[in-house]
Structure 1
Amino acid sequence: MRVLVAEDHRVLARTIATGLRRRAMAVDIARTGEEAERMCLHTAYDVLVLDRDLPVLSGDEVCRRLRRREDPPRILMVTAAGGLTDKVYGLEALGADDYLTKPFDFTELVARVRTLSRRAPKPPVVLLRRGPLTLDAARREASLDGRPLELTPKEFAVLHLLLAADGAPVHHDALVRTVWDENLDPRTSAVRATVSRLRGKLGDPGLIVADKGEGYRLCD
């Protein structure tokens, strides 16, 4: 799951992002409304955690603008304005999908983010197969020759991308952008290490091939 946290309070933004990452979510941070809108236009986020009181462009206006787009992220509006009128305005007039008032319990924020992600449109094909591999995206299950695979969230996401590519190479940058987030140094060995562990769990290093300059691909 990919989440954008639009919050100008640096400590709170880092706290939310760190907590969500510990729950296997890829999280980016925007400090202004203008930045949040721009990032949403270039990246398909599942959920946007949106503070209403953002500088440059208010969270209200960001919500309005994104709602005019064909496929906006699910929006969890977060604000200190917790009156009934504020909530109704945020949900009905602005078009937010959910509304959370500050201060909040972090476990509630996580629950709301996960709930919103489940409401997001699902791709029509959730069962992927190639050779001995099968992956059920809806149930988050993968198997090799019918044997269940115990994969970490990152390993599952990498395998999902490789299977979806159907034998075509998946570039290193695409893996970083989709499975991790903007905070990962593109020069890091995290992708290589994850692929190496995934190969070990598949039991056949030849199933995943590294194409020099192209990335990784799955063989039959």
Structure 2
Amino acid sequence: MTRVMVVEDDEDLRVAVSAELRAAGLDVDAAPDIAGADAQLNSGDHACVVFDRMLPDGDAIGYVHRRRQQGWSVPVLFLTARDALADRVAGFEHGGDDYLVKPFAMAELAARVMTLCRRSGVGRPSVLRHADLEMDCARREVRRAGVLLTLSVKEFAVLEYLLARAETAVPRADIIEHCWDEVTDPTSNVVDVVIKRVRRKLREPELIHTVRGRGYRLGAPS
């Protein structure tokens, strides 16, 4: 699943944009300001970043311009209420790849982001492997020790998220954020229910381990 970042200080718009992009099949990280985005962008493999122009800690074009000078090449789409020609030109001159004026249609935003993701060539491998587990993301197929497994859409999404972060403890809240919609209660047991079903289908030896107080980790067979 291709990973993108949304940087928007308006919480309602940030949630709406993130939901639209997840519905388009993208893995979405989000931040309300430049500082929060920078921390994630330095450790991520994002295929595209959607930046609101005016953020609490500055104009995003300044941040993008500085990163471009350092060799950063991730495609950037700027969102802004500024529709003057000079503002659009400034966005492109400072490293933007696309520019969308508010208010905008969500379908258009998603289409533009998908285009930038394809241009970047960044994303997760089409086949994920760990131990004797193999997931073909393009074919939507999962095999354990060569045996084809039948997973529901939600089971596939959760397993894919854990596989992409193998050997890392993943909090339940993160799994909910990336595999469910934004109205799902993070205190509910939906993750535990799906993990239980996936474990049963993967059979022994167990690959998905419970990390007490943290969440789940896809690790070595036990």
Please give the alpha-carbon distance, in whole angstroms, between the structure 1 residues aligned to 2:154 and 2:49: 20
Query: Aligned residues, how many?
Result: 212
Please give the alpha-carbon distance, in whole angstroms, between the structure 2 residues aligned to 1:164 and 1:27: 15
SS in structure 2 of the partner of residue 45 of structure 1: coil
Determine whether 1:8 maps to 2:9: yes
**Is the 1:141–1:148 Cα contact (8 Å) retained in structure 2?**
no
Please give the alpha-carbon distance, in whole angstroms, between the structure 2 residues aligned to 1:48 and 1:131: 32
For normalisation by structure 2, the TM-score amounts to 0.70
Cα distance change of structure 1 residues 122 and 212 upon mapping to structure 2, 3 Å threshold? same
Instruction: Provide the identity percentage.
Output: 27
CA root-mean-square deviation: 3.8
Amino acid across the alignment from 2:209? A
Aligned to 1:31: 32
For residues 116-135 of structure 1, what are the structure 2 equivalents within 5 Å?
116-122=116-122, 126-129=126-129, 133-135=133-135
Cα distance change of structure 1 residues 105 and 163 upon mapping to structure 2, 3 Å threshold? closer
Cα distance change of structure 1 residues 98 and 205 upon mapping to structure 2, 3 Å threshold? farther
SS in structure 2 of the partner of residue 134 of structure 1: strand
Cα distance change of structure 1 residues 63 and 140 upon mapping to structure 2, 3 Å threshold? farther
SS in structure 1 of the partner of residue 58 of structure 2: coil
Please give the alpha-carbon distance, in whole angstroms, between the structure 1 residues aligned to 2:34 and 2:140: 37
Cα distance change of structure 1 residues 176 and 122 upon mapping to structure 2, 3 Å threshold? farther
Aligned to 1:143: 142
Which consecutive residues of structure 1, in runs of 5 or more, have no partner in the other structure? none
Report Cα offsets for 1:132-171 as digits up to 9, x if no partner. 643234x253233464744426634634643884xxx442
Cα distance change of structure 1 residues 41 and 196 upon mapping to structure 2, 3 Å threshold? same
Amino acid across the alignment from 1:2? R
**Is the 1:154–1:179 Cα contact (8 Å) retained in structure 2?**
no
| 1:101 CA drift (Å) | 1.7
| 1:84 CA drift (Å) | 4.4
Aligned to 1:66: 67
Report Cα offsets for 1:7-32 as digits up to 9, x if no partner. 22333223223333444544343333
For normalisation by structure 1, the TM-score amounts to 0.70
Please give the alpha-carbon distance, in whole angstroms, between the structure 1 residues aligned to 2:27 and 2:71: 23
User: 4+ residue runs of structure 1 moved beyond 6 angstroms?
Assistant: 183-188
Aligned to 1:210: 209
**Is the 2:175–2:191 Cα contact (8 Å) retained in structure 1?**
no
Cα distance change of structure 1 residues 160 and 54 upon mapping to structure 2, 3 Å threshold? closer
**Is the 1:24–1:153 Cα contact (8 Å) retained in structure 2?**
no
Please give the alpha-carbon distance, in whole angstroms, between the structure 2 residues aligned to 1:87 and 1:163: 36
Please give the alpha-carbon distance, in whole angstroms, between the structure 1 residues aligned to 2:123 and 2:4: 18
Please give the alpha-carbon distance, in whole angstroms, between the structure 1 residues aligned to 2:8 and 2:40: 13
